[in-house]
Amino acid sequence: MAIGKLFHIIHLTGDLPALEAWYDDVFSVRRGFLDHHYMEGEKRDASLVVLGDCVIEPLAPAFRVDGWDAMPLGRFYRRFGPHWHSIAWYTDDPGEIWQRCTDNGVRVYVEGGVQTTERPPVHSAIMTHPKDTIAQLEFMQPEGTMLADMDPRLKPDWDPNWWAEHHPLGLVGLAYTTVLTRDPDRAKQVYTEVLGGTLVHEDSSALTGTSNAYVLMGDTIVELATPVRDGTLAAEDMAAHGQIHHAAAFRVRDLDQAEQYLKSKGIEPLARDETTLLTRPDTTHGVPFRWTVADIPAGSGQ
C-alpha cells in the first residue's frame, strides 16, 4: 500500500462565495483545478484551491437542492457548522487500503455515504467512517482520472515556492494538520498499524494545551492531539464536537511578518509563543489556523 501526496483538506462552510473570495484575497490561491463544482452524489458545491503544495477544498452543502441535509456532508454541517472536515490522499491502490481497513474493523464508504463491503476498483475514491479513524479520511487513485491532468502540482513546471518567495505571508507549505483524539494510543494504532503511517515525533505544547503524536502519512504530517487542560481551542472543540479534524498549521518564513500580514487582512491573533501563532477562528471562517516556523520532523514544506 502506498499513501502518497496529500489530495486535499476540506474547509466546510455555510457561505461558499464568501469563503472562496477570502481564500483568493488573503492567500492568492491558484485556481483552475476544480472551480465552483456541483456533485450530485454528495449534493455539495466546492472548489479545489492550491496554496503552496497543499490543496484546500472550500465546500458547502448545496442548500438549494432538496435532500442536501440527508447527505453525509449536510449532516456534518447541521451538527458542527463551519469546520475542518476531512483529509484526503492520493494512493496507488484504494482497494488495498479498503482491505486493511476492513480487516481491522474500519468501515469504508463510497460516494453518497454508501458503505462498501466489496473491494473497490483501482480508479475509485473511498472514505473511512470518522468514528473508526478519529476523523474522516479519503483515499483515491488519480491516474486515469481527470485529476491526473488537472492537478497543477503533478505538472513538471509547478512551483510550490511562489508563496514563500513572492507573497507577503511568506508561506512555505503545510506543516501538519491536527486531529483531536481522546485516546492517543488507539489513534496511533489506527494511523500506523492499520493505515501504514510512521510515528515520527511526540511532544506536548503549552500553547495549544495538548499532548501530541505526529504521524507521517504519505507526504503529510497528521498531528494526533489530546487536550490536557481546559480553556484552549482544542479543549473547546473537543468538548463541543468530540474527536474531529481540528486545525491546519502552515509553515511560514518569518512569524512576525506573517502576523502583521494576517492582521492587515483582519485575521486576529489568539495566542503565540516563540515558534507558533494561533489565530482566532472567528476571523478565519470558523476554523483554527496555525502559523509556525518550527521544524516538524519529516514534515512537508521543509
Domain 3-154 matches domain 162-292 at the CATH topology level: yes
CATH 3.10.180.10 fits 3-154, yes or no: yes
- 241: closest CA among 9, 76, 58, 49? 76
Global pTM exceeds 0.75: yes
User: Which tens digit of pLDDT belongs to each residue from 232-285?
Assistant: 999 999 999 999 999 999 999 999 999 999 999 999 999 999 999 999 999 999
Which CATH code is given to the segment(s) 162-292? Answer: 3.10.180.10
Q: What is the DSSP string of 235-288?
A: HHHHHHH-S-EEEEEEEES-HHHHHHHHHHTT--EEEE-SSEEEE-GGGTTTS-
Question: Averaged over 26-55, what is the pLDDT?
Answer: 94
DSSP code at position 194: I
- Spell out the domain ranges in the chain: 3-154, 162-292
Q: What are phi and psi of 248, to 5 degrees?
A: -125, 130
CA distances from 168 to 116, 139, 255 (A): 46, 33, 12
